[in-house]
Amino acid sequence: MAVTTAQIEALQKRHRTLEQERLQLQTRRDLAQERLREIQATAKEQYGVTSLDELRALRQSWDAENNANLEQFEKSLTQLEQELQSFRSGEGRT
C-alpha cells in the first residue's frame, strides 16, 4: 500500500498535536515541582519539617497537646467551681 500525501499530513498533524500536549504537560509538571519546592521550603522554615508525613505527625502531636491542655483547663474549672460552691455553702451557714 502506497502512503499518500494526505496520510502523511494527517500523521504530521497528529504528531504536532501530541507534541503540543507533551509540552503543556511538561510545563505543568515543572510548575508543580517548583510549587512543591516552595511549599517544602515554607514548611521547613515555619515548622522545621519538609515532608507531608512529618507535618501530619507534627499536627497530631499538637492535637494531643491541645487535648491535654483542654482537659487540664476543664479540671481546673471544675475545681474552681467546687471551691466556689463550698465557699458559698460555708458562707450561708455563718
pLDDT tens per residue across span 35-64:
999 999 999 999 999 899 999 999 999 999
The domain of 10 spans 1-50
Task: Count the helix, strand and coil residues of the chain and give each as a percent rounded to the nearest 5.
Answer: 90, 0, 10
E strand or H helix at 20, and its extent?
helix 5-47
pLDDT digits (tens, 9 = 90+) for 61-81: 999 999 999 999 999 999 999
Which residues make Cβ contacts (< 8 Å) with residue 47, sequence separation at least 6? 55, 58
Instruction: Say yes or no: 44 and 56 in one domain.
Output: no
**Integer distance in angstroms from the first to the last C-alpha of the chain?**
116
Instruction: Say yes or no: 43 and 1 in one domain.
Output: yes
Instruction: Say yes or no: 45 and 61 in one domain.
Output: no
Give the predicted TM-score (pTM) of the model: 0.60
Instruction: Say yes or no: 43 and 61 in one domain.
Output: no
Instruction: Say yes or no: 67 and 43 in one domain.
Output: no
Instruction: Say yes or no: 22 and 63 in one domain.
Output: no
Instruction: Say yes or no: 25 and 14 in one domain.
Output: yes
Q: Enter the DSSP assignment of 4.
A: P
Count of domains observed in the chain: 2
pLDDT digits (tens, 9 = 90+) for 14-41: 999 999 999 999 999 999 999 999 999 9
Which band of pLDDT confidence, cut at 50, 70 and 90, is reported for residue 1?
Answer: confident
Instruction: Say yes or no: 42 and 86 in one domain.
Output: no
